[in-house]
């Protein structure tokens, strides 16, 4: 009986290892064949731009941190992506749904505790309203969520770079 379980477990582990290698190979091929995508957020303009190479794919209005809880600045990465997240706060848990302060998607950043997510207060978009996270409209968030992956670079800029200034003045590339 033990040998049957051991053989089954070994086969299962081998299948999982092969699947993991195939996924890594697909990701490496996709990465090698496409220009690098990154997200750049202008804190001053309250805009999030999805950039591929030097071209803007999308520009979104966002809400960012208020003066007492500013959005961190620097270069980070998306470390996880969660559809329909639950929110865990000091007063308890809020299940996914319209009352959830995270909205319908969460993209966690390598800056601990910060992320790009929705809001249950859509009128806050375009304002300094969050505790430092990047808030997006539901439709915009869900579109961006499908376009980026774990590992995507996220630059949070206090003052927009020359490239970002040029993109924001020109709009989205066709």
Q: How far apart are CA 103 and CA 30, in angstroms?
A: 30
Q: How far apart are CA 128 and CA 100, in angstroms?
A: 19
Residue among 117, 125, 134, 156 flagged as catalytic: 117
Active site residue 131: no
Which residue is associated with the tokens 């995270």? 102
Listed residue (106, 97, 88, 90) closest to 144, CA to CA? 106
Q: Say yes or no: domain 37-170 is CATH 2.40.440.10.
A: yes
Residue among 133, 134, 136, 141 flagged as catalytic: 133
pLDDT at residue 87 is higher than 90:
yes
Q: Are strands 55-61 and 64-65 parallel, antiparallel or unpaired?
A: unpaired
Listed residue (136, 98, 91) closest to 115, CA to CA? 136
Tokens (6 digits) for 85: 């997240």
Active site residue 133: yes
> How many residues are present in the chain?
174
pLDDT digits (tens, 9 = 90+) for 88-105: 988 899 999 988 999 999
Question: How confident is the model at residue 9, as a pLDDT?
Answer: 47
pLDDT digits (tens, 9 = 90+) for 65-82: 999 999 999 999 999 999
């Amino acid at each position: 009986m033990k040998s049957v379980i051991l053989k089954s477990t070994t086969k299962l582990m081998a299948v999982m290892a092969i699947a993991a290698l195939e996924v890594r190979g697909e990701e490496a091929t996709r990465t090698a064949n496409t220009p690098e995508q990154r997200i750049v957020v202008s804190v001053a303009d309250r805009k999030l731009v999805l950039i591929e190479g030097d071209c803007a794919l999308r520009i979104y209005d966002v809400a960012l941190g208020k003066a007492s809880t500013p959005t961190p600045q620097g270069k980070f990465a998306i470390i996880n992506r969660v559809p329909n997240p639950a929110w865990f706060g000091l007063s308890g848990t809020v299940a996914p749904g319209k009352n959830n302060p995270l909205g319908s998607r969460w993209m966690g950043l390598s800056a601990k505790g910060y992320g790009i997510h929705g809001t249950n207060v859509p009128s806050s978009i375009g304002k300094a309203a969050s505790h430092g996270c990047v808030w997006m409209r539901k439709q915009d968030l869900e579109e961006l969520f499908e376009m980026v992956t774990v590992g995507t670079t996220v630059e949070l800029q206090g003052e927009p770079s020359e490239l970002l200034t040029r993109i924001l003045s020109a709009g989205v590339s066709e």
